Chains A and B, each alone.
Chain A
Amino acid sequence: MALLELDNITFSYAPEEPPVLRGLSLSVEAGACVALRGDNGAGKTTLFRILNGLSFPQSGVYRFDGAEINRAYLKKQRNAKRFHQRVGYLFQNPEVMLFNASVREEIAFGPRQLGLPREEIEARVRDCLQLLGLEPLADKAPYHLSGGQKKQAAFAAVLALNPELLILDEPLAGLDRKARDRLLGLLLELRQAGKTLLTATHDEALCRALEARVLRLEEGVLREEP
């Protein structure tokens, strides 16, 4: 069974506006890697929002691991926590993801919400800092970081939740060579570890390295790209 399934999704931001997504369908197996392309404004971010349960389609069904994700389902706290733990989302603008006093706190936020024991949280924070080479910045305030550093801090914060599905909106944009290589290696390792990856990217190298199935979002539907 597919890990996530979108069936004939329609979405528009306002009733009088033309819909952004028009009968879009998608099925992703667990452990797969999908790269999403599309022009600016094609609706990639909208699609990601739906996948993360932040927006809900006007028509069509979104199933994650068999459960239909809708408002009523996420109203239940237990469901919401479980769902958001399993789906990690790296926003295109990492700025909005950083709202704690220090990078360390930032990474600890998610695990704390899950109610993990303190030692477990500390271990996760340490590992995530190390994975992204953020140790020297651990006690800095997030608003003191540069753009690229913010992106890496946000990614570390997502990883700390140990999600099965990683939804990454332009993960490599704005990174320097070193950070880019590090993140690329990390994504490969995550893929080998069986995580499901869904990224929006214009980066050819990333698609090739991850051996991703490339889809193109055009006129509100997804088309397979050779």
Chain B
Amino acid sequence: MIPDWLKGEERAAPPRDRSPFALRTLKTLGGVLARLQIQRGREGRLRISVLGKLLLLLALLLCLSVARHPLLLLGVAALALGYASTLPAWELASVLRPALGGALLTLLLVLPAMLLRPAGRLNNVLVVGKVFLSVTMVNCFNRRTQWNELTAALRRLRVPGVFVFVLDLSLKYIVQLGGVMVDLLTARELRAVGRDRHKYRSVGGVLGQTFLRSIRLSRETWEAMCCRCFTDDYKGL
């Protein structure tokens, strides 16, 4: 027997309300974490092996950081920009935004030095360019590589298995907790139709839940590992 209020139409008119800053921030954060899940970085037509890509990235980054000779810089710039120009537009925007941001920040940092010591200007400009290029390259790599392929590549590089395994596990946690956070916040948003006087209680709730979830998750994962004959010896990882 359902009560009367559940039968008729709802008469309450919800007052307008704004989602508070802290909750929106949390949601953004969760979304970024969970994006790793959607992140299915893939190569376009040119399928470069992940290992090759990783080595190339490391080599280019090294080149860039030690480069004094302008030719080296120019070559790296040509490679990085040329590769970036093959990305589709929407990916380009998300690759270049942080790169431009980083370059701008660096510019602000070296600006006083540039004004005070004009002789070093060229070097300072180079630093800004280096920051821009490194961030662009790392971002491109990120966009075009799946995380699990990356860890597989690390394994092939003879990085110790335990290290790679822990990396895999952390990735899994990050993705799952990000998902939990977004789910909780979405659920809250869907139900919070009216004015909520205790929004910051929700913030506590969401963070608390996420924390508890993370503890339970790690415990259960450990148990699942034990159930599959794992006994602390990291054999064959």
Contacts and interface: CB of A to CB of B under 8 A. Distances in A.
A binds B: yes
Interface of B: 36-37, 40, 146-148, 151-152, 164-165, 168-169, 171-172, 175-176, 217, 220-221, 223-233, 235-237
A144 interface: yes
Nearest to A91: B224
Nearest to B219: A96
B233 A102 contact: no
A52 B224 CA distance: 10
Interface in A59-113: 77, 80-81, 84-85, 87-89, 91, 93, 95-102, 109-110, 112-113
B151 A112 contact: no
Interface of A: 49, 52, 54, 77, 80-81, 84-85, 87-89, 91, 93, 95-102, 109-110, 112-115, 140-144, 157-158, 161
A113 B227 CA distance: 11
Given A93-B220, A96-B221, A115 B152 contact: no
Contacts of A109: 225, 228, 230
28 contacts: A54-B226, A81-B229, A84-B227, A88-B227, A89-B227, A91-B220, A96-B217, A96-B223, A96-B224, A97-B221, A97-B224, A97-B228, A99-B169, A99-B224, A99-B225, A100-B168, A101-B151, A109-B225, A109-B228, A110-B229, A113-B228, A113-B236, A114-B229, A115-B235, A115-B236, A143-B172, A143-B175, A144-B37
A85 B231 CA distance: 12
A96 B229 contact: no
B47 to A, nearest CB: 13
Given A91-B224, A96-B217, A102-B152, A143 B37 contact: yes
B46 to A, nearest CB: 19
Query: Which 4 pairs from chain A and chain B are nearest by CB?
Result: A112-B236, A96-B220, A101-B148, A141-B148
